[in-house]
Amino acid sequence: MTDASAPRPKPRRARGLMDRRGPALALERELIANIAKVYEDWGFEPLETPAFEYAEALGKFLPDQDRPNEGVFAFEDDEEWVALRYDLTAPLARFVAENFDALPKPYRRWAAGPVWRNEKPGPGRYREFWQCDADTVGSASPAADAEMIAMASAALGAAIGDAGRPFLKVSDRRLLDGLLETLSFTEGRSPEQSRLIVLRAIDKLDRLGDDGVRDLLMAGRKDASGDFTPGAGLVLREAEDVIDFVRGTEVDSDDAVLNFLANKLAKSKRGTEGVEALGQLQQCAKALGLGPKDWRIDTSIVRGLEYYTGAVFEASIDDTSKYGSVGGGGRYDDLVARFRGEQVPATGFSIGVSRLATVLEARGSDAVEIGPVVVLVMDQARVADALAMADELRRAGVRAEAYLGAAGMKAQLKYADKRASPIAVIQGGDELAKGVVTLKDLKLGAKIASGLGEDREAYAKAREQVQVEVPRDQIVAAVQQMLAR
């Protein structure tokens, strides 16, 4: 099959993608399992939709619309455009609309899986990443939003254990809608466009500060590289109003925040709706055991996706922006209506699994990797004996494998080290003749070797403890004993 003269392809994974293996992957899988356990306990059932959907069904809700295919990976199939899912929410909306009559209402589901975004890759920014979502479809109640933040708090807590405390920030899209009703826009844009520019400007408050955001809200802003971003076209007083609106929620008491917002938005029906919904959410959050160490109202929370219509959430670990957001979500009452016409209110939360794993890795872990016991093969003609020994160990519940390469003893021990193996099992010709095997404690061996330097006598003595000879028929008990110490 292989033609030696044929040009060889270069082995490289596609741009912006990631391979994950061993303990790092195991950590991510454990995170997902712990999050899923919480979602299931809260009454959510699993759902798995396909990796791609008709592009029309996914809709166009990503923030980066200047990217190719508006941020998605799309291709033609049987003369219809399909696209890899960019989140787990848009496919859920399609699924609910397609199976509406068969589903319990509200329909509560969780899902975990990769999503794909056709974005410019960068450090820590990949084009495939895992999300773990929960959504309640068919409930307009702020209780459902409160449940989302309480469950997100519980799920993140279960996932990270002692490594930190989850913190949620909550806002409502209707607040800003209410504020915008009072503002003029001189640039002749549609209200939707202006809303988007204002949202994006607020989203940059942390990074650009009041001055930068004020520029973006007014005529526009030129950054250090000379690039110009057009502004929302507000006059100074209006821009200050928007900034005050966001800064005004930076106080400790949620009651004070709600009063501030109620006064500010008293003239707007939509804004007042948002404030009232937040008030009910606050009551329900309290009933679910959440306090000021767990969450607060913060109008600087924007969330990039355009389908949100009400409450929006953002989660971090501890109340700092050090590691950035590890999840977010919100209410999207119109997403199912795209298909059905009638409104189907919904709310959901998405945890960024890869991001959460990065936070945990940055905080370090004490876990020591323990690989399989490795049975060495000293004579290729006797590989079946090694297979049988490994099998005996496995049947007794011990992770074990026979070495299946062609290398000598030294390389086999190096292999065992690379596999984080705790014990090597060795049966050379002498041992075979005596009916014994040698067990080598690799973890202890490494410890002694690193502390003993060139002292031959001490080395010889330590070796006695590290290597033991046991009868062939007592191999299982001896390995279990060595593993236990």
Chain positions 261 to 280 lying near a second copy, rule: CB under 8 A, are none
> Which residue, 200 or 219, is less far from a second copy as judged by CB?
200
Q: Which amino acid is at 358?
A: T
Among 30, 50, 292, 477, binds a second copy (CB under 8 A): 50
Site string for a second copy, 441-470 (x = CB under 8 A): ------------------------------
Cβ–Cβ < 8 Å for 434, 452: no
| Positions in 404-423 near a second copy (CB under 8 A) | 404-407, 415, 418-419
Count residues near a second copy (CB under 8 A). 111
Per CB under 8 A, the segment of 35-43, 261-269, 359-367, 473-481 that binds a second copy is 35-43
The whole-angstrom separation of Cα 466 and Cα 459 is: 10
254 counts as binding a second copy under rule CB under 8 A: no
> Which residue, 211 or 255, is less far from a second copy as judged by CB?
255
Query: What is the chain's alpha carbon radius of gyration, rounded to the nearest angstrom?
Result: 29
Helix (H) or strand (E) holding 18: none
Per CB under 8 A, the segment of 42-50, 214-222, 321-329, 432-440 that binds a second copy is 42-50
> Which residue, 141 or 325, is less far from a second copy as judged by CB?
141
Shortest distance, position 457 Cβ to a second copy, whole Å: 33
Shortest distance, position 59 Cβ to a second copy, whole Å: 8
φ/ψ of residue 426, rounded to 5 = -125, 130
| Positions in 82-101 near a second copy (CB under 8 A) | 82, 84, 93-95, 97-99
Angle made by CA atoms 37, 38, 41, in degrees to the nearest 5:
90
384 counts as binding a second copy under rule CB under 8 A: yes
303 counts as binding a second copy under rule CB under 8 A: no
All residues at 6 or more sequence positions from 252 whose CB lies less than 8 Å from its CB, including other chains? 292
The count of other CB atoms within 10 Å of the CB of residue 102 is 7
Cβ–Cβ < 8 Å for 141, 285: no
Among 208, 258, 383, 448, binds a second copy (CB under 8 A): 383
Of 349, 342, 305, whose CA–CA distance to 108 is shortest?
349
291 counts as binding a second copy under rule CB under 8 A: no
Beta strands in 285-426 (DSSP E): 295-297, 311-317, 327-331, 346-352, 373-375, 400-402, 423-426
388 counts as binding a second copy under rule CB under 8 A: yes
The whole-angstrom separation of Cα 194 and Cα 217 is: 9
| Positions in 166-225 near a second copy (CB under 8 A) | 192
> Which residue, 42 or 323, is less far from a second copy as judged by CB?
42
Site string for a second copy, 128-167 (x = CB under 8 A): x-------x-xxxx-xx-xx--x-----------------
Cβ–Cβ < 8 Å for 348, 89: yes
All residues at 6 or more sequence positions from 102 whose CB lies less than 8 Å from its CB, including other chains? none
The count of other CB atoms within 10 Å of the CB of residue 168 is 26
Shortest distance, position 89 Cβ to a second copy, whole Å: 14
Per CB under 8 A, the segment of 78-86, 164-172, 295-303, 447-455 that binds a second copy is 78-86
> Which residue, 52 or 167, is less far from a second copy as judged by CB?
52
Among 60, 200, 204, 394, binds a second copy (CB under 8 A): 394
Among 62, 202, 216, 374, binds a second copy (CB under 8 A): 374
What DSSP assignment string belongs to 277-326? HHHHHHHHHHHTT--TTTEEE-TT---S-TT--SEEEEEEESSSSTT--S
Query: Token pair of 291, please?
Result: 């306090």
| Positions in 312-351 near a second copy (CB under 8 A) | 334, 337-341, 343
379 counts as binding a second copy under rule CB under 8 A: no
Q: Is 444 helix (H, G, I), strand (E, B) or coil?
A: helix
